[in-house]
Structure 1
Amino acid sequence: MSRSLGLSPGPLGLALFAGALASMLAMALLGWTADLLGRRAFVAAASVAFAAGVAGLSLARGYAAFLAALVLLYAGSGLYDVGVNAVAVDLERALRRRVMSLLHAAFSGGGVLGALSAGALLSAGAGYRLVYLLTLPPLGVAAAALCLARLPEAEEGRGKKEGGGAPLYRNGPLLLVAAIATLGLLSEGEMEHWSGIYLRQTLGFSALLGGSGVAVFYGAMALGRLAGAPLVLRYGNRRALLGAGLLSALGMLLSLLGTWPPLVVGGFLVVGLALSAVVPVAFSLAGELSPGRAGAGISVVTTLGYGGFLVGPVIVGGLAELLGLRAALGVIAAAGLLIFALALRLGRPAPP
Structure 2
Amino acid sequence: MTASVAPLSPTTRTPSPLAGARARGAVTLMFAVNGLVLGGWGGSLPSLRDKLAIGDGQVALMLFAAGIAGITSMQVGGRLSDAVGARRITLVALPLLLLTAAVLALAPTYPVAVAGAVLLGLGNGAMDVSMNAIGVQVEVARRGPVMSSFHAFFSIGNLLGAAAVLGLAAGFGLSGGAVVTPLLLTLVVVGAVVLVVLARIAPVAAPVVHRSSDGARTRVPRAAYVLGIMALAFGLSEGTAVDWSSIHVTDVARVDTTTGAVGLVAVSGFMVVIRLLGDRLVTRFGRRAVVRFGGACAALGYLTVTLVSPLPLLVAGWALVGLGVGMIAPQVYAVAGHLGGGRVLAVVVTFGYASFLAGPAVVGFLVRHLGIHHAMAVPAVLCAGIVALAATIPREDRDLA
TM-score by length of 1: 0.81
Please say if residues 236 and 351 of structure 1, whose CA atoms lie closer than 8 Å, have aligned partners that are also in contact: no
The one-letter amino acid paired with 1:349 is: R
1:320 Cα deviation after fit: 5.1
Contact 1:57 1:66 (8 Å CA) reproduced? yes
Are positions 1:349 and 2:381 aligned together?
no
State yes or no: 1:88 paired with 2:140: no
- Superposed counterparts of 1:214-293, under 5 Å: 214-255=264-305, 257=307, 260-290=310-340
Where does 1:56-67 land on structure 2 (aligned, <5 Å)?
56-60=103-107, 64-67=111-114
In the alignment, is the contact (CA less than 8 A) between 2:69 and 2:125 conserved in 1? Answer: no
**One-letter amino acid matched to 1:148:** R
Which structure 2 segments of 5+ residues have no match? 1-44
1:274 is displaced (CA, Å) by: 0.7
2:165 maps to which residue? 118
TM superposition shift of 1:171? 1.0
Offset from partner CA, 1:166-208 (integer Å, 9 cap, x none): 997641112212221232233223333444565678966455x
- What amino acid does structure 2 have at the position aligned with 1:288? H
1:278 shift after superposition: 0.8
Alignment partner of 1:145 is 2:191: no
Give the structure 2 partner of residue 43 of structure 1.
90
Deviates more, 1:253-262 or 1:35-44: 253-262
> Would you say the 8 A contact 1:14–1:314 is kept in 2?
no
Does the C-alpha gap of structure 1 residues 11 and 323 become closer, same or farther in structure 2, counting only changes over 3 Å? farther
Pair 1:177 & 2:223 matched: no
1:338 maps to which residue?
385
> Map of 1:180-199 to 2, 5 A cutoff?
180-196=230-246
Q: 1:47 offset after TM fit, Å?
A: 1.2
Match of 1:98 among 145, 156, 177: 145
Secondary structure at 1:98 match in 2: coil
Deviation at 1:48, TM superposition (A): 2.2
1:88 positional shift = 0.5
Instruction: Verify the 8 A CA contact 1:238 1:343 in the aligned structure 2.
Output: yes
CA contact (8 A) 1:46 1:80 kept: yes
Answer yes or no: is 1:295 the counterpart of 2:342: yes
Q: Do the aligned partners of residues 337 and 15 (structure 1) sit closer, same or farther apart at CA in structure 2, a change above 3 Å counting?
A: farther
Matches within 5 A, 1:201-216: 205-207=256-258, 209=259, 213-216=263-266
Please list the CA deviations of residues 20-47 of structure 1 after superposition, one character each: whole Å capped at 9, or x if unmatched. Answer: 2221111113321112233333112211
Higher mean C-alpha displacement, 95-104 vs 333-342 = 333-342
Match of 1:16 among 39, 63, 67: 63
Distance 2:108 2:244 in 1: 22
Partner deviation per Cα, 1:313-344 (whole Å, 9 max, x = no partner): 34345555666655555543233122223224
Match of 1:131? Answer: 183
Q: Is the 8 A contact 2:335 2:397 kept in 1?
A: no
Aligned to 1:306: 353
Aligned residue for 2:286, secondary structure, equals: helix
Q: Deviations over 1:56-99 (max 9, x none)?
A: 44345665444433322122112111121111111112111111
Displacement of 1:148 in angstroms is 1.9
The CA deviation at 1:347 is: 5.2
Structure 1 unmatched runs, 5+: none
* Inter-partner Cα distance in structure 1 for 2:59 and 2:375: 15
Percentage identity across aligned positions?
Answer: 32
Q: Output the CA distance in 2 between the equivalents of 1:96 and 1:125.
A: 48
Tell me how far apart the structure 2 counterparts of residues 150 and 115 of structure 1 sit (CA, whole Å): 26
Q: Specify the structure having the higher radius of gyration (Cα).
A: 2
String of CA shifts for 1:268-308, please: whole Å, max 9, x gaps: 22111111211111122112212xxx222322222222222
Moved more, 89-98 or 166-175: 166-175
Q: 1:145 to 1:31 in 2, by over 3 A?
A: same
Aligned partner of 1:30 in structure 2 is 77
Distance in structure 2 (CA, Å) of the matches to 1:108 and 1:171: 30
- What is the SS of the residue equivalent to 1:32? helix
Aligned CA distance change for structure 1 residues 254 and 347 (closer, same or farther; 3 Å): closer
Alpha carbons of 1:29 and 1:73: their partners in 2 closer, same or farther (altered >3 Å)? same
Question: SS of 1:349's equivalent?
Answer: coil
RMSD after superposition: 3.3
TM-score by length of 2: 0.72
Q: Are the equivalent residues in 2 in contact too, given 1:115–1:212 (CA < 8 A)?
A: no
Letter in structure 1 aligned against 2:98: A
Map 1:311-330 to 2 at 5 A.
311-319=358-366, 330=377
Which residue identity is paired with 2:359? G
CA deviation after TM superposition for structure 1 residue 229, in Å? 2.0
Q: Secondary structure at the match of 1:24?
A: helix
CA gap of 1:223–1:271, structure 2 versus 1, over 3 A, is: same
Range with greater deviation from structure 2 (129-138 or 22-31): 129-138
